[in-house]
């Protein structure tokens, strides 16, 4: 468990920033992202559409709250949940032998593969650090240790 407050702040800014960025590039092209989701061949046209509309905003909102430090545990929970989902999705896709673009960072994303899994695992580690930081640490007023 990491108790170093400046380090936790850096983790929050990096992870939140990545999520806001990933969300923004998808928000500008919802139909393109919908096609990316459809290409995973797990859900139909309607669910792909709904996910493409909501998911980018979930990334932006959770990322922004994490950066702002408001409801940071809730935001970290959303982000770690999403990352676990992305990792499972990528592994399942690889196991099925599908050659799809991951859709992670908008229209020019890489192919779904080990690179994506390792990247997600790295982000997951940051998210878990934020999520597991002792609550007492957060509430300690500045200057008192």
Partner 1 sequence: MTEARRTLRQALALAALSVLVAAAVHLPLIKRFARGEFRETFFVQADYPGVRLITLAEAEELWRAGETTFLDARAADLYAEGHVPRARNVPAAAAKTFVPVLIRRLAHETPLVVYCEGGDCRSSLILARQLHDGGFKDIRVLGGGWEEWKKAGLPEETGDDQE
Contacting partner 1 within 61-120 (CB under 8 A)? 61-62, 65, 71, 73-75, 77-78, 81, 99-101, 107-108
Nearest approach in angstroms of CB 110 to partner 1 is 8
Name which position in 21, 39, 128, 137 contacts partner 1 (CB under 8 A): 39
Q: Could you give the angle at the alpha carbon of 86 between the alpha carbons of 84 and 90, nearest 5°?
A: 120
Q: Return the range that interacts with partner 1 (CB under 8 A); candidates 1-9, 39-47, 84-92, 114-122.
A: 39-47
The DSSP string of the chain is: ----HHHHHHHHHHHHHHHHHHHHHHHT-HHHHHHHHHHT-SS-HHHHHHHHHHHHHHHHHHHHHHHHTSSHHHHHHHHHHHHHHHHHHHHHHHHTT---B--TTSTT--BSSHHHHHHHHHHHHHHHHHHHS-HHHHHSPTT--
Q: Which of 17, 30, 69, 122 binds partner 1 (CB under 8 A)?
A: 30
* Residue among 15, 18, 25, 34 that touches partner 1 (CB under 8 A): 34
**Measured from the CB of residue 79, what is the shortest distance to partner 1 in angstroms?**
9
Q: Which residues bind partner 1 (CB under 8 A)?
A: 27, 30-32, 34-36, 38-39, 41, 45-46, 48-49, 53-54, 56-58, 60-62, 65, 71, 73-75, 77-78, 81, 99-101, 107-108, 131, 135
């Amino acid at each position: 468990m990491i108790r170093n407050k400046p380090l936790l702040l850096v983790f929050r800014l990096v992870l939140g920033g990545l999520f806001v960025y990933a969300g923004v590039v998808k928000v500008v092209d919802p139909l393109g992202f919908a096609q990316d989701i459809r290409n995973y061949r797990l859900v139909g046209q309607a669910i792909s559409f709904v996910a493409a509309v909501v998911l980018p905003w979930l990334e932006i909102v959770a990322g922004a709250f994490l950066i702002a430090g408001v409801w940071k545990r809730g935001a970290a929970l959303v982000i770690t949940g999403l990352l676990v989902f992305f990792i499972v999705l990528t592994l399942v896709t690889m196991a099925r032998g599908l050659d799809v673009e991951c859709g992670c960072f908008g229209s020019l994303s890489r192919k779904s593969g080990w690179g994506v899994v390792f990247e997600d695992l790295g982000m997951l580690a940051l998210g878990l650090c934020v999520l597991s930081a002792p609550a007492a640490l957060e509430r300690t007023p500045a200057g008192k240790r």
